[in-house]
Chain A
Amino acid sequence: MKKQSLIIVVIAAIIVIGGAFFITNQNKLQDTAQDQKKIGFIYIGPPGDHGWTYMHDQGRQYMEKELGDAISTTYIENVPENADAVRSIRKLADSGHDLIFTTSFNYMDQTLEVAKEFPDVKFEHATGFQRTDNVSTYSARFYEGRTVIGHLAGKMTETNTIGYIVSFPIPEVIRGINAFYLAASKVNPDVKIKIIWVYSWYDPGKEADAANTLINQGADIIVQHTDSYAPCQAAEKAGVLAFGQASNQEAFCPNAHMTSIEDIWGPYYAARAKAVLDGTWSSEDTWQGFKDGMVEMSPYNEKLLSADLIAEAKAIEESIENGTLHSFEGPIYNQSGELMVAEGEVADDGMLAGMMFYVNGIDGEVPQ
């Protein structure tokens, strides 16, 4: 027993001493470069997810390239959307960061809490809606991209059945389903969408199961609103078509991937950092789409889509950009037949932000 307790003491000592070295080294890193503006990011996943967090990290790198030595950036990855986030955000605020981006919807309360403690630090909360003097919100109109892929799916489906894999019933996701269905049913009134909720942003196995289930039930196109590229891979294997998510995923499923809706955060991040440098930063609400380049379509797959269809898709992008087309043009009815958007009108941002109903024609109910 004596020998064993000695070993345990030695191991404990190594951990304590090693930890102490690590912490002092970290503090040293944080002490350098006082004149630079420090910009921090909170990520929900790893930058290597090739989805949501990957695109935020691309935005961070773009900003670094644009502004060079005037700024330095830090990020903390895999921060859970719970009380733990407060600790991570506070850590950034406490270590002299001037601007902090919190890049997921459920960091809302945590961001506001820390922002109250640090009135001189600027905060930017992605996809949120609550602002204060030092908290801005920003989001992208991903649903505009869903209109484009809806059009393509309506034209490309042969079984008139489209499989749609979704994460959680929140307005952002429901808005996407509706925009997609409105565009698909406009060009193909017989189209049906089958929806599977997997209750996870990220579970490659489950996402693949859902894709295979939908394909087995006759879907010949797979659409997803989850973060891994497993559904696109499953589609490739089964020989059906798919759309990627958040970033260009053609490398993983070259014979299934038609296009993908990409989130482009770089220019926005650079502009906001510049505003901090110039002292012109103020709390704002930003919601941009194709027009400002915050949403883009990945290159259309010419092996799968005809030149005419690609031209149509590009025309839709353009008319959304110049305002002649809106993803939610009336008349729009909900499932019980109530008129939600009158003819000749478009859905306003308030309705879009809180959208929790399916439009008429979609089977099934929105889960509670």
Chain B
Amino acid sequence: MNYDLILGILNIVLISTTPLVFAGIGELVTEKSGVLNLGLEGLMLVGAVSGFISLVITGNYFYSFILSILSGAILSSIFAFFVLRLLTNQIATGLALTIFGIGLSAMLGKKFAGTPINGLSPYYLIIFSFILVFLINYILYKTKAGLIIRAVGENHHSAYALGYDVIKTRYLTIIFGGVMCSLAGFYISVCYAPMWQEGMTAGRGWIALALVVFATWKPWRLLVGAYIFGGVAIMQMNLQAFGVKLPGQFFNMMPYLATLMVLVFISSNKVRLKLNAPSSLTIPFIKD
């Protein structure tokens, strides 16, 4: 193995892992405030299609970026309205959001599928993803805002009694999560594989969701976990191309398997479980 080859592999790992980091960090913040959003895949697809369409129409990467994250913000605020105001079940509503996003993106993108575009260099967003993880880690653990988010996620009644606005906090974290998912989608359709085709995120939303649990709700571990998942996928491709025989299907399910193992590990001990998972996750907040 020579130096160029290793650098090349690292480059591919960086490019292919970044969407997982964006979607994962957004979901992590949402879950930290006590809301489980299963709509990642749908949000990513809508972000991908709106970024793509606006790039085709305006030809401007900046507008495309703004419109893409705006679509995620709008869609996730609808989700927030349902689960926070109408108190619908978070799991069912999140699944509905995924199904809705898949359908909506397919409908919007129909006329634009197969339009050639010039992709944006992925490196801006790759660098941004590292800064973002650093910032989120800082905000969650070193600032008052982070303390409020965590308090709301741990015990919303206590947070409410202390005078914090639980609903508003959760609105903001859900919208942040939505924006990050649509950013992941923008990255996929404009930087990573510059095109639009139905369902092009191909399950990355679910991997990002598993990643949050794998990282036991810690931003740095999420970054490391994303690069483990991404790195293993690229390594197995490299080994295949070198002629090593590997069970490819096994590697496709590896992220889920690893997450299951982490779940088994952390739930085997009540203390460890308490230290990690936000206690109010999926529990709706009803004012007494």
Check: A163 CB closer than 8 A to any chain B CB. yes
Contact call B202/A204, Cβ cutoff below 8 A:
yes
Q: List 28 A-B contacts (CB under 8 A).
A: A4-B87, A7-B86, A46-B197, A46-B198, A48-B109, A50-B114, A54-B114, A194-B241, A202-B197, A203-B200, A204-B195, A204-B200, A205-B192, A205-B200, A206-B202, A208-B193, A209-B12, A212-B15, A213-B12, A216-B5, A216-B12, A228-B195, A230-B195, A251-B116, A252-B116, A363-B243, A364-B240, A364-B245
B194-209 vs A, Cβ < 8 Å mask (1 yes, 0 no): 1101111110100000
Check: B59 CB closer than 8 A to any chain A CB. no
Check: B247 CB closer than 8 A to any chain A CB. yes
Check: A361 CB closer than 8 A to any chain B CB. no
Contact call B16/A8, Cβ cutoff below 8 A:
no
Name 19 extra pairs, CB < 8 A, besides A207-B193, A212-B15. A4-B85, A46-B106, A46-B113, A49-B197, A50-B113, A50-B114, A163-B241, A194-B242, A196-B240, A203-B202, A205-B192, A205-B204, A206-B233, A213-B237, A213-B241, A228-B193, A228-B200, A252-B195, A367-B247
Residues in chain A near residue B240, CB distance under 8 A: 195-197, 364
Residues in chain A near residue B109, CB distance under 8 A: 48
Check: A152 CB closer than 8 A to any chain B CB. no
Check: A154 CB closer than 8 A to any chain B CB. no
How far apart are the CA atoms of A206 and B230 in the complex, in Å?
11
Check: A22 CB closer than 8 A to any chain B CB. no
Check: A245 CB closer than 8 A to any chain B CB. no
Residue of A nearest to B252 (CB): A199
Check: B249 CB closer than 8 A to any chain A CB. yes
Check: A278 CB closer than 8 A to any chain B CB. no
Contact call B233/A209, Cβ cutoff below 8 A:
yes
- B84 nearest CB across to chain A (Å): 11
A157-178 vs B, Cβ < 8 Å mask (1 yes, 0 no): 0000001000000000000000
| Residue with the greatest number of chain A CB neighbours at <10 A, chosen from B8, B11, B201, B241 | B241
Residue of B nearest to A206 (CB): B202
Residues in chain A near residue B110, CB distance under 8 A: 46, 48
- B248 nearest CB across to chain A (Å): 5
- A359 nearest CB across to chain B (Å): 16
How far apart are the CA atoms of A98 and B268 in the complex, in Å?
60
Check: A258 CB closer than 8 A to any chain B CB. no
| Residue with the greatest number of chain B CB neighbours at <10 A, chosen from A194, A200, A212, A213 | A213
| Among candidates B5, B202, B248, residue contacting A217 with C-beta atoms closer than 8 Å | B5
Contact call A214/B195, Cβ cutoff below 8 A:
no
Residue of A nearest to B245 (CB): A365
How far apart are the CA atoms of A49 and B114 in the complex, in Å?
7
Residue of B nearest to A49 (CB): B197
Q: List B66-124 residues whose CB lies under 8 Å from chain A.
A: 85-87, 106, 109-110, 113-114, 116, 119
How far apart are the CA atoms of A8 and B202 in the complex, in Å?
32
Check: A45 CB closer than 8 A to any chain B CB. yes
Residues in chain B near residue A224, CB distance under 8 A: none
How far apart are the CA atoms of A212 and B12 in the complex, in Å?
7
Q: List B1-50 residues whose CB lies under 8 Å from chain A.
A: 5, 8-9, 11-12, 15-16, 19
Contact call A213/B200, Cβ cutoff below 8 A:
no
Residues in chain B near residue A45, CB distance under 8 A: 198
Check: A229 CB closer than 8 A to any chain B CB. yes
- A210 nearest CB across to chain B (Å): 6
Contact call B12/A228, Cβ cutoff below 8 A:
no
Check: B188 CB closer than 8 A to any chain A CB. yes
Check: A132 CB closer than 8 A to any chain B CB. no
Check: A233 CB closer than 8 A to any chain B CB. yes
Contact call B195/A199, Cβ cutoff below 8 A:
no
Residues in chain A near residue B194, CB distance under 8 A: 233
B106-149 vs A, Cβ < 8 Å mask (1 yes, 0 no): 10011001101001000000000000000000000000000000
Check: B56 CB closer than 8 A to any chain A CB. no
How far apart are the CA atoms of A139 and B106 in the complex, in Å?
29
Check: B234 CB closer than 8 A to any chain A CB. yes
- A239 nearest CB across to chain B (Å): 14
| Among candidates B16, B192, B198, residue contacting A78 with C-beta atoms closer than 8 Å | B198
Q: List A46-64 residues whose CB lies under 8 Å from chain B.
A: 46, 48-50, 54
Check: B238 CB closer than 8 A to any chain A CB. yes
| Among candidates A195, A200, A233, residue contacting B202 with C-beta atoms closer than 8 Å | A200
- A175 nearest CB across to chain B (Å): 20
How far apart are the CA atoms of A88 and B243 in the complex, in Å?
41
- A188 nearest CB across to chain B (Å): 19
Q: List B187-242 residues whose CB lies under 8 Å from chain A.
A: 188, 192-195, 197-202, 204, 233-234, 237-238, 240-242
Contact call B87/A210, Cβ cutoff below 8 A:
no
Residues in chain B near residue A46, CB distance under 8 A: 106, 110, 113, 197-198
How far apart are the CA atoms of A50 and B252 in the complex, in Å?
25
Residue of A nearest to B204 (CB): A205
Residues in chain A near residue B243, CB distance under 8 A: 194, 363-364
How far apart are the CA atoms of A205 and B11 in the complex, in Å?
14
- B255 nearest CB across to chain A (Å): 13
Residues in chain A near residue B199, CB distance under 8 A: 202
How far apart are the CA atoms of A4 and B85 in the complex, in Å?
8
- A252 nearest CB across to chain B (Å): 5
Residues in chain B near residue A194, CB distance under 8 A: 241-243
- B16 nearest CB across to chain A (Å): 5
Contact call A199/B249, Cβ cutoff below 8 A:
yes
How far apart are the CA atoms of A23 and B243 in the complex, in Å?
54
Contact call A205/B202, Cβ cutoff below 8 A:
yes
Residue of B nearest to A254 (CB): B116
How far apart are the CA atoms of A195 and B243 in the complex, in Å?
8
